[in-house]
Amino acid sequence: MARPIHVRLPSLCAGVFSWGVSMKALLDSLVSARKERGWTQSQLAERAMLSRTAVQQAESCASDPHFSTLYKMARAMEMEFMTVPTALRGELEMFVRAGGRWLGHPPGVSAPLSIVDEIISGQHNRAR
């Protein structure tokens, strides 16, 4: 039987990963998502199948959390982690900031609806 691999990222709460993502920003987004749902740490822990202490320590940076802990917290709130090639990061950030509507066309250029516009208007499912 294969032994499970536990990923422990060094000094997660101390600052910035080598690829430029702030652990504090990640944890802040998880805490904000939990609070937006009106969940307590205990409720998140139950949904994520973690101890309340694990959630509390991760959120407060009392210890460096395992990636698996953060992953379970995110999944319990219907969130996903995504890795993006460095070369595409800037374009992806612009796409996200634009609400998924950025197609790379200059202003004023006629373009088809983005997938986000299709989903919002209900045309996406009808076209299939």
- pLDDT class for 10, splitting at 50, 70, 90? very low
Answer CATH for 12-76 from 3.50.50.60, 1.10.260.40, 3.40.980.10, 3.90.650.10: 1.10.260.40
Arithmetic mean of pLDDT, 61-88: 86
Residue 99 CB burial class (10 angstroms; 0-12, 13-18, ≥19): exposed
Say whether pLDDT at 27 is over 70: yes
Q: Give start-end residues of each CATH 1.10.260.40 domain in the chain.
A: 12-76
CA-nearest of 23, 6, 27, 7 to 15 is 23
- pLDDT class for 47, splitting at 50, 70, 90? very high
- pLDDT class for 45, splitting at 50, 70, 90? very high
Q: Given this model, what pLDDT does residue 3 score?
A: 44
